[in-house]
Structure 1
Amino acid sequence: MPRNKSLVLLSVGHACVDLYQGAVASLIPFFVAERSYTYAAASGIVLATSLLSSVAQPVFGALTDRRSIPCLLPVSTVLAGIGVALSGIGGSYTLTSMFMALSGIGVAAYHPESARVARLAAKGSHSSMGWFSLGGNIGFAFAPLLVAVVIATGGLRWSPLLIVPALVGSVLTLPVLRAVEKAPRTGSRTAAAAGRDHWPSFVRLSLAVVCRSIAFVAMSTFVAFQVRQQTGWGTAAGTAALFVLYLGGAVGTILGSELAHRWDRVRVVSTSYLTTVAAVAGVVFVPGPAVYLFVALTSIGLYVPFSLQVTLAQDYLPTRVGTAGGITLGLMVGVGGLTSPVIGRIADATSLRTALAPLILMPALSWLLFRTLPEPEVDKRLLGDPSGDATEPSRV
């Protein structure tokens, strides 16, 4: 557990924000049950959220490259919560999609700046960045539980209660803002001027993230339905599957950050993707309660690379840290949201198993893209250490 107070608060705030990413998928079964949405219509809501989030995150990343905007942290947290809280009001599909898109913009505004601030607070530690990412994973994990308690009790009309975590998260970021204002601002700009961007490696990493996004977002959208079919159990089985999926992400994030201290990040990420191929196949084809084991393994395998891919992207583009984080984090959600309606239409036309089967290829493609990537050196001045040596040879 990190001892840095700012990093702890950022981790908790990250949980409050990413809870709303998890809430989108968690609300889908309730929209289907109360409003009789088809698979395609339900996945269209995921598309509305993911599309705006993926487009907006690089924009916010570019803005934070020009100047730090720490006030984005509390403002974006509240925005993410408002969108989800209003999504259950009324029965209009258009309004529901718009509210979810609003939440996506809030999530997009939060991540590039929070990743920049967290990395400075972590001082380059993979474990500390892993704890920051863990906060988001915990938010994901508890989203289906919170949604189930609130919505199963009072129906979609109770969705305004879901604003509470956003209010808590926004308050917790206020001490971080004060710490950021007091922190020295030397080092990062000088390092940026001295750094050398390596776009080929960044592009390959981004393509691998695209494949990872397709697999994970599709799983988070449809795993509740898949597990219900595989087990023959009710709605609670699907909610439990989402909880396992998101909780496995928390385990994978910490595991990845710890492994990165023993081996280089590229090796850890590529190995994780290779082992995830079999796990995804298990989710698609294994019947009965054993499917929960494969849901957990899939989540762990897809989340071991999570924080490592963000820091790798920042190291491949040392002069554009905000842009690198924004694009990487945006792709993790956005492209998967774009493909979810396609998967939904295939599922409506054939079967859910047929629609999910191509996902087995996604981690395999990520492995192929990652396996020969170089491991970059880290310039300490990017982490707020003005005494860091910027002349060390780079492996990229």
Structure 2
Amino acid sequence: MRRNTSITLLSVGHACVDVYQGAVASLVPFFVAERAYSYAAVSGIVLAASLLSSVAQPVFGALTDRWAMPWLLPVSTLLGGLGIALSGVSGNYGLTLVFVAVSGIGVAAYHPESARVARLTSQGSHSAMSWFSLGGNLGFASAPLLVAAIVATGGLRLTPLLVLPALAGSVLCLPVLRALGQRKTAGAGAVLPARDDDRASFVKLSLAVVCRSIVFVGLSTFISLYVKQRMDGSAAAGTTALFLLYLGGAIGSVLGGSLANRWDRVTVCRWSYLLTVGAVAGVVFVPGPALYLFVTLTSAGLYVPFSLQVTLGQDYLPSRVGTASGITLGLTVSIGGLVSPVVGGIADATSLRTALAPLILMPALSWLLFRNLPEPSPKLSTSVEQGEPSSPRPGAAAPPKGDDTDAALSPTRPDHR
């Protein structure tokens, strides 16, 4: 299978999974309307989706560093869809938390393995990885439209229909997995680390992603309700704002890959976060329809670094690619969900504007953390296309002859220090 075809299928599958991350925030107004949940209560639902996911993603990443687990892609996709599909069936708050937590585990299991497979398939291309990330952004962007189309017509009792993207995504990933199996049989080359781990830089990068997560999850949880307040109670206005928040991410992801081909990833991320500071301030304080422009700019600014941060994390921890993917795509992103109840509590005690104002500081902190980060040199060796053996760094263990793709599916670790 050609690289572009595999990346396209992975991107669409990524969209089918990330629909369920976006669906949690998209369901918030319906939980408030039908069940009279408070801001703190709906924040708890977002927390339930994020808490187990935040812990589970690095665990799944560590597991996939040791063993090839490509079967996680279809299984986790189905699990993510099933949890959201059941979330509206019961009016019991505790069961709702359990169901969205199940969805969060499915999402957690998907991302480390899919990011590693995408990096292998893309052969280190920033543009290809940005297209993979674009799929997730489109999934986020379509979530409010999908939820509104289904739930607004028949209420929360129709949430079982939301399982349909999961069914589609689980089928779409199968040809990619089949192609990986064929490459294993053909003895395709592995991707081997060519440098030592830079743990200090990885920690700084992870903290920057945490700050990005806090502002994005905070806005995605409350932007619909906030814009509804600002636009005279229009539910359509709130749905439009949430859609733009997710759609801007799609624009930012593709733009990030293109910019990284001209400048280094660290520089692109640094400037993006600096510009996002003003965009978030516009969301909170600028009145009128201009609010929509600032929502779009905020989303684009937060997502320009997204795929670049994933590959930076993999390059800072070349011997632990799955773990790096699990942390940058999972733990750090999910921490935003842990902070959302604090935002909800402040909003209950004061106002949504007061609660959202501190989010302006988050991209500024990300900018500060990126100021001293190094740009790793592109030294990943691949022999997938050329059919030539890769050259690991001195002291690295050589891959087994005739079974290189086992290492590609479960990246070779040169040592276990």
Using the size of structure 1 for normalisation, the TM-score is 0.95
2:116: which partner in 1? 116
Question: Over residues 76-106 of structure 1, what are the superposed CA-to-partner deviations in whole Å (9 max), with x where a residue is unaligned?
Answer: 0000000000000120000001000000000
Which amino acid is 1:241 matched to? A
Which amino acid is 2:307 matched to? S
Which amino acid is 1:363 matched to? P
2:413: which partner in 1? none
2:61: which partner in 1? 61
**Aligned residue runs from structure 1 range 1-396, under 5 A:** 4-184=4-184, 187-188=189-190, 191-192=192-193, 195-381=195-381, 387-388=389-390
Once residues 383 and 90 of structure 1 are traced to their aligned partners in structure 2, the CA distance between those partners, rounded to angstroms, is 52
Once residues 390 and 255 of structure 2 are traced to their aligned partners in structure 1, the CA distance between those partners, rounded to angstroms, is 28
Once residues 241 and 85 of structure 1 are traced to their aligned partners in structure 2, the CA distance between those partners, rounded to angstroms, is 24
Once residues 383 and 291 of structure 1 are traced to their aligned partners in structure 2, the CA distance between those partners, rounded to angstroms, is 49
Once residues 286 and 308 of structure 1 are traced to their aligned partners in structure 2, the CA distance between those partners, rounded to angstroms, is 30
Once residues 387 and 233 of structure 1 are traced to their aligned partners in structure 2, the CA distance between those partners, rounded to angstroms, is 63
Contact 1:120–1:383 (Cα < 8 Å) also in 2: no
3-state SS of 2:381 partner: helix
Instruction: Specify every segment of 5 or more residues in structure 2 that has no aligned partner in the other structure, as ranges.
Output: 395-417
Once residues 71 and 84 of structure 1 are traced to their aligned partners in structure 2, the CA distance between those partners, rounded to angstroms, is 21
Which amino acid is 1:219 matched to? L
Could you tell me how far 1:187 is from its partner in structure 2? Answer: 4.9
Instruction: Specify every segment of 5 or more residues in structure 1 that has no aligned partner in the other structure, as ranges.
Output: none
Question: What is the percentage of aligned positions where both structures have the same residue?
Answer: 70
Question: Over residues 155-195 of structure 1, what are the superposed CA-to-partner deviations in whole Å (9 max), with x where a residue is unaligned?
Answer: 00000000001001101111111111112466547x24x53
Once residues 232 and 383 of structure 2 are traced to their aligned partners in structure 1, the CA distance between those partners, rounded to angstroms, is 51
Contact 1:17–1:107 (Cα < 8 Å) also in 2: yes
Contact 1:380–1:389 (Cα < 8 Å) also in 2: no
Aligned residues: 389
Once residues 165 and 382 of structure 2 are traced to their aligned partners in structure 1, the CA distance between those partners, rounded to angstroms, is 32
Contact 1:124–1:383 (Cα < 8 Å) also in 2: no
Question: Over residues 268-326 of structure 1, what are the superposed CA-to-partner deviations in whole Å (9 max), with x where a residue is unaligned?
Answer: 00000000000000111111111000000000000000000000000000000000000
3-state SS of 1:4 partner: helix
Once residues 175 and 206 of structure 1 are traced to their aligned partners in structure 2, the CA distance between those partners, rounded to angstroms, is 33
Once residues 81 and 60 of structure 2 are traced to their aligned partners in structure 1, the CA distance between those partners, rounded to angstroms, is 19
Could you tell me how far 1:387 is from its partner in structure 2? Answer: 4.3
Please, what is the CA RMSD of the aligned residues?
Answer: 1.6
Contact 1:22–1:144 (Cα < 8 Å) also in 2: yes
Once residues 353 and 94 of structure 2 are traced to their aligned partners in structure 1, the CA distance between those partners, rounded to angstroms, is 29
Contact 1:231–1:287 (Cα < 8 Å) also in 2: no
Once residues 359 and 254 of structure 2 are traced to their aligned partners in structure 1, the CA distance between those partners, rounded to angstroms, is 24
Change (3 A) 1:286 1:277: same
Once residues 376 and 384 of structure 1 are traced to their aligned partners in structure 2, the CA distance between those partners, rounded to angstroms, is 22
3-state SS of 1:381 partner: coil
Once residues 117 and 207 of structure 1 are traced to their aligned partners in structure 2, the CA distance between those partners, rounded to angstroms, is 25
Could you tell me how far 1:67 is from its partner in structure 2? Answer: 1.5
Could you tell me how far 1:228 is from its partner in structure 2? Answer: 1.4
Contact 2:277–2:361 (Cα < 8 Å) also in 1: yes
Question: Over residues 350-373 of structure 1, what are the superposed CA-to-partner deviations in whole Å (9 max), with x where a residue is unaligned?
Answer: 000000000000000000000110
Deviates more, 1:230-239 or 1:380-389: 380-389
3-state SS of 1:312 partner: helix
